[in-house]
Amino acid sequence: KEGSSYVFVHDQIQNAAYSLIPEDERGRMHKSIGRLIMKHSPEDKIEDLLFLVVDQLNRGEVGKEERETTGLAKLNLKAGKKAMSEATFLRSASYFEAGVGVLCDGHWEDYYDLSLELHSLLAETQYCNGCFEIVGKIATIVLNNAKSLEDKLPIYINLIKSLGAQNKHQSAIEIGITAVHELGMQWPSPSPDKLRIMADFIKAKLRFEVITTDDFLAIEEMKERNK
């Protein structure tokens, strides 16, 4: 006994005790433990116990009610963000993945913001973990469901970085050009000839030579958020 708590003196004793619980009852037990901790913990202590609560709920039975699964997805999002703030990307990815896994059918329509954030952060953490193939799969899902370019941009960025990390530079350039085109801007072909490059370089150089510092500072600030 430690204060008001009881602990096992050894992990093997804990494992032995756990093995005595019938497998078909373990999910219900974990779910009950998670809920009890949330119910009886002071408001100012919930944040400190967040990982413990979410770990228990994730190991518990997943309910069929939309309200319950959505609530669990939100808790995993919160836990994942906390893990990200501590730079524990493997752990944060596991929470985001668990959150995605419990989303209800039709979640992109009914819970768009939650779905977008879970998928986008999962892609970001998996990039940090070096799981580039997973980043590509998540990117496809988000790009097929995102409603605006602004919502797609974080995915484009992580996808480009992921491709670059794999030395797939041509693919990264093509994705970047796709994003630029969605911004409504024109971009030269991925492989412009040397004459085109030199002409554009000279044009830019001449333009900057006639712009004074005051002229530059007087340029109107861009108001389009996407650009």
Encode pLDDT of 87-118 as tens digits. Answer: 999 999 999 999 999 998 899 999 999 999 99
Place of tokens 């108001």: 223
Place of tokens 């340029």: 219
Dihedral angle computed from the Cα positions of residues 134, 95, 59 and 31, in that order, rounded to the nearest 10 degrees: -140
More confident site: 87 or 223: 87
Q: Is residue 189 part of a domain?
A: yes
Is the whole-model pTM more than 0.85? no
Q: Is residue 24 part of a domain?
A: no
Q: Is residue 57 part of a domain?
A: no
Looking at residue 21, what is its pLDDT?
83
Q: Is residue 171 part of a domain?
A: yes
More confident site: 191 or 87: 87
More confident site: 189 or 73: 73
Domain CATH for 146: 1.25.40.10
Dihedral angle computed from the Cα positions of residues 44, 45, 47 and 51, in that order, rounded to the nearest 10 degrees: -170
Average pLDDT over residues 52-79: 90
Looking at residue 207, what is its pLDDT?
79
Query: Residue 188 is part of which domain span?
Result: 62-217
As for how many domains the chain has, the answer is 1
Q: Is residue 26 part of a domain?
A: no
Average pLDDT over residues 133-148: 96
Q: Is residue 186 part of a domain?
A: yes
